[in-house]
Chains A and B, each alone.
Chain A
Amino acid sequence: MAEISRQTRQSHTGQSLGETAMMPVRFAMGIIDAPLRWVQKKFGLGGMAAFFLLPNMLIFGIFVLLPFFINFAYSMTGGTALFLSDRTFVGADQYSRLFDCSNYTNPNTCAEDTFWTAVGNTGWFVILQVTLMIGFSLVTALILNRDLMARSFWRAVFFFPVLLSPVVVGLIWKWILQRQGLLNFGLYGFGFDPHVWLNDRNWAFAATVGVSIWAHMGFYTLIILAGLQAIPKDLYEAAEMDGTRAMRVFTRITLPLLMPNLLVVIVLVLIRAVQIFDEVYVLTGGGPGTSTLFVTQYIYETGFAAQLRNPGLAAAASILMGLVLVVLTLVQLGLSRSRDKKGARK
């Protein structure tokens, strides 16, 4: 009640700059109010609930749900036409084309060799990136959880790259890894010859892993840090009294209590890693050759950028990727539910 009367008093007396700026908005809201009162009278509270939900659900329906469902239809049509009505039905042809391989371990034996190269690259990327990402963010979180001077400053240091756009991240590192770049300069100081890192298949791949870790590590560090801070302090005090070694404290107290949180983070990293595109596209463009071509870029190029676009094939590939993501998300939901339950019991 107090809140309301304060609100209304302000609107009658306040004439600050902000108030004046809000005048047209207030006026507009006032005009909307009259027809809405009529709606409320006619359809009741349920009608108003529908009214409040409508804009969000409409946008949602058109731009998320509808494409989700017609994606299946797309994946069963052929040709280069854009609109579904102009396309011919081909059944499961696109899928069988994607899976047309004489030997699944060798992408060169497949009809869509680039797809399998992309799948293979993404697989390796996911394995490497997820392991290293968890390792680095866990260590950083453990360190930030210590009794540090200026802790929020250090937390901000590791968080900084998270806000940068993928394009900026890609360009920053492209600039560092080029021939006259900072990395070669540093190595030159130790007597190494300059190397064009991004022209080398293996180094380019390593760069995509490293750069994506650099860019997103701070985000996962924060989540793990929140998990660490939820561990009761008295456990550590008890361990200290018993003179337990630091390593043992970590394996016996920190890790088991952090595990539910860590599992959620692992799945979150996995989900993001599978979709990797932006930074890599700017950094290497998928090259040299196809050494850093990942699935999202394959879908983008097949559907939009290739000379002969094939939306059907792109849709089929995207559904396969979607399946992987759905499984991962369900695992994550299950994990976070069990984590929350445990949290409630504590």
Chain B
Amino acid sequence: MSRAIEFVFRRRSGKGWHWTDIVTWVWLIVGLFVMFGPAVWLTASSFKSPAALAEFPPTILPYVTQKVTVDGYDKPLDLYTATLEDGSTATLAEVRRIGTVSQMVDPAKPAEIVKVNIAKRTPVRQMSFATDNYTEPFTHFDFVRYLWNSVFVTVTATLITLVVNSMAAFALSKYEFRGRTFAMLLILATLMVPLSVIMVPLYSIVSALGLFNNLWGVILPTVATPTGVFILRQYMLTIPDELLDAARMDKASEWQIYWRIILPLTAPALAVLAIFSVVWRWNDFLWPLIVLSRKELYTLQVGLSIYSGELNVQWHFILAMTVVTMIPVVLVFLFLQRFITTGIAGTGLK
């Protein structure tokens, strides 16, 4: 064990500890808890029953008070460990509480009522995962609809983004034509026009096209991403033109060149863009919030925010739905994080 600790904390330079080493490890360990802690806490909470959620101080794992059915009582009673007057402890079920006195019975002898001060009893608790939090929203709410809407928007928008952006990037990287620089500048300039600046007129255009309260109204304005065109164009510039000329000699059409040569060779960049696009579209919030006002069209993000803004927030459902909303992104994080981080470090774009 001590060998293992020595291994982890060994300085590669072989020198002793410096104050910067201590700062480093404190920062990293605190960072580990601050960055992962909140999401872990939310996930742990999502398995708690509403009663357990209202408790303070909260427990980390989901506990519920054990219940027992006693002859002569209709409802199951809560079990407690009570300290009796003679100092012995017994496991008793609470019948009712009057002031500070709790009337209890021994489940084995239901006729005999024992009076115990409430300070002298503690509930018998057992771990129990409230999976209802997950199954209820799927059966009783429109949650499946929201999930489906989100999946539809994400997949469709990503596919269109890949096709449309790669075509534009192909034209901008492999053809000489008048206005090419202008087109490129125009695309880059729109980085300056974020949604929050144009949402009023964009809303009227989407309405005029009959796309208000329509998932396509969410999809179309997002697909011509300047970032995508930029990433793909940079990548396509590295593909040698000789390849295209050789294909043209073999009587390949321009469309075939795009489809059979350029696209397969751009696959790594397309993959990066696809990952980005999935995360972007899955997480989109403001624009769907504006375009979708009918409940059955909500995406997960909109549905979640609307439910969580209600007066009587049903936190046990909200928490479970939040965890489900997190799943795809956590999967991307676990398996594809490397592509995203190199993508960001390479282009500085998000």
Q: Do residues A63 and B204 form an inter-chain contact, with CB atoms below 8 A? A: no
Residue of B nearest to A165 (CB): B283
Q: Do residues A180 and B54 form an inter-chain contact, with CB atoms below 8 A? A: yes
Other-chain contact of B243, A1, A55, A223 (Cβ < 8 Å): A1
Q: Do residues A277 and B200 form an inter-chain contact, with CB atoms below 8 A? A: no
Which B131-177 residues have C-beta < 8 A from chain A? 163-165, 167-168, 170-172, 175, 177
Q: Do residues A223 and B344 form an inter-chain contact, with CB atoms below 8 A? A: yes
Apart from the given pairs A146-B20, A176-B41, 20 other A-B contacts in the complex at a CB distance below 8 Å: A4-B250, A33-B253, A56-B164, A57-B224, A63-B202, A73-B201, A139-B27, A143-B28, A157-B28, A161-B39, A175-B319, A176-B38, A180-B56, A277-B196, A281-B285, A282-B308, A299-B200, A318-B196, A319-B197, A329-B192
Chain A hits for B37, CB < 8 A? 182
Q: Do residues B243 and A4 form an inter-chain contact, with CB atoms below 8 A? A: yes
Once A62-B205, A143-B27, A163-B333 are accepted as A-B contacts, the answer to whether A300 and B199 lie under 8 Å apart by CB is yes
Other-chain contact of A173, B24, B38, B172, B340 (Cβ < 8 Å): B38
With an 8 A cutoff between CB atoms, is A322 at the interface?
Answer: yes
Alpha-carbon distance A171/B304, docked complex (angstroms): 9
Q: Do residues B286 and A278 form an inter-chain contact, with CB atoms below 8 A? A: yes
Min Cβ gap A147→B in Å is 5
Q: Do residues A219 and B350 form an inter-chain contact, with CB atoms below 8 A? A: yes
Question: Which residues on A are within 8 Å of B, measured CB to CB?
Answer: 1, 3-4, 7-8, 29, 32-33, 36-37, 40, 45-46, 48-50, 52-53, 55-57, 59-60, 62-68, 70-71, 73-74, 82-84, 139-140, 143, 146-149, 152, 154-168, 170-176, 179-182, 184-185, 188, 194, 214, 218-219, 222-223, 225-226, 246, 264, 268, 275, 277-278, 281-282, 285, 296, 299-300, 303-304, 311, 314-315, 318-319, 321-322, 325-326, 329, 336
Question: Which residues on B are within 8 Å of A, measured CB to CB?
Answer: 8, 11-13, 18-20, 23-24, 27-28, 31-32, 34-39, 41-42, 45, 53-58, 163-165, 167-168, 170-172, 175, 177, 183, 186-187, 190-194, 196-209, 220-221, 223-224, 229, 243, 246-247, 250, 253-256, 258-261, 264-265, 279, 282-283, 285-286, 290, 301, 304-305, 308-309, 315, 318-319, 322, 325-326, 329-330, 332-333, 337-338, 340-341, 344-346, 348, 350
Other-chain contact of A167, B255, B261, B301 (Cβ < 8 Å): B301
Q: Do residues B200 and A168 form an inter-chain contact, with CB atoms below 8 A? A: no
Chain A hits for B203, CB < 8 A? 82, 303-304
Once A172-B42, A184-B56 are accepted as A-B contacts, the answer to whether A140 and B27 lie under 8 Å apart by CB is yes
Other-chain contact of A82, B23, B164, B204, B322 (Cβ < 8 Å): B204
Q: Do residues A163 and B332 form an inter-chain contact, with CB atoms below 8 A? A: yes
Q: Do residues B220 and A66 form an inter-chain contact, with CB atoms below 8 A? A: no
Other-chain contact of A168, B163, B175, B207, B322 (Cβ < 8 Å): B322
Chain B hits for A152, CB < 8 A? 338
Chain A hits for B23, CB < 8 A? 143
Q: Do residues B201 and A74 form an inter-chain contact, with CB atoms below 8 A? A: yes
Q: Do residues B165 and A71 form an inter-chain contact, with CB atoms below 8 A? A: no
Interface of A is mostly: helix
Q: Do residues B167 and A52 form an inter-chain contact, with CB atoms below 8 A? A: yes
Alpha-carbon distance A214/B33, docked complex (angstroms): 12
Chain A hits for B318, CB < 8 A? 171
Alpha-carbon distance A219/B315, docked complex (angstroms): 30
Once A160-B36, A315-B200 are accepted as A-B contacts, the answer to whether A185 and B56 lie under 8 Å apart by CB is yes
The residue among B31, B32, B290 with the most chain A CB atoms within 10 A of its own CB is B31
Q: Do residues A36 and B168 form an inter-chain contact, with CB atoms below 8 A? A: no
Alpha-carbon distance A50/B31, docked complex (angstroms): 50
Q: Do residues A46 and B200 form an inter-chain contact, with CB atoms below 8 A? A: no
Alpha-carbon distance A52/B211, docked complex (angstroms): 25
Between A and B, 24 residue pairs with Cβ closer than 8 Å are A1-B246, A4-B261, A49-B171, A52-B167, A53-B168, A53-B172, A56-B224, A57-B224, A64-B198, A65-B186, A66-B201, A157-B28, A161-B35, A161-B39, A165-B301, A167-B304, A171-B304, A172-B38, A172-B39, A188-B56, A226-B345, A277-B196, A282-B285, A319-B197
The residue among B53, B194, B325 with the most chain A CB atoms within 10 A of its own CB is B194
Min Cβ gap A97→B in Å is 16
Chain B hits for A325, CB < 8 A? 192, 194, 197
Min Cβ gap A195→B in Å is 12
Residue of A nearest to B11 (CB): A147
Q: Do residues B283 and A140 form an inter-chain contact, with CB atoms below 8 A? A: no
Once A33-B256, A52-B167, A175-B42 are accepted as A-B contacts, the answer to whether A4 and B247 lie under 8 Å apart by CB is yes
Min Cβ gap A223→B in Å is 6
Residue of B nearest to A73 (CB): B201
Residue of B nearest to A179 (CB): B56
The residue among B165, B207, B250, B286 with the most chain A CB atoms within 10 A of its own CB is B286
Min Cβ gap B178→A in Å is 8
Alpha-carbon distance A1/B57, docked complex (angstroms): 69
Alpha-carbon distance A56/B27, docked complex (angstroms): 45
Q: Do residues A329 and B261 form an inter-chain contact, with CB atoms below 8 A? A: no
Other-chain contact of A45, B20, B24, B196, B254 (Cβ < 8 Å): B254
Alpha-carbon distance A200/B142, docked complex (angstroms): 34
Chain B hits for A1, CB < 8 A? 243, 246
Chain A hits for B256, CB < 8 A? 33
Chain B hits for A36, CB < 8 A? 253-255
Once A45-B175, A57-B168, A194-B56 are accepted as A-B contacts, the answer to whether A148 and B24 lie under 8 Å apart by CB is yes
Residue of A nearest to B322 (CB): A171
Min Cβ gap B122→A in Å is 19
Q: Do residues B24 and A146 form an inter-chain contact, with CB atoms below 8 A? A: yes
Chain B hits for A40, CB < 8 A? 253-255
Query: A-B pairs with the 6 shortest C-beta distances?
Result: A165-B283, A56-B168, A52-B171, A67-B201, A49-B175, A63-B221
Alpha-carbon distance A218/B341, docked complex (angstroms): 10
Residue of A nearest to B19 (CB): A246
Alpha-carbon distance A162/B229, docked complex (angstroms): 22
Other-chain contact of A155, B168, B255, B330, B341 (Cβ < 8 Å): B341
Other-chain contact of B348, A57, A166, A182, A223 (Cβ < 8 Å): A223
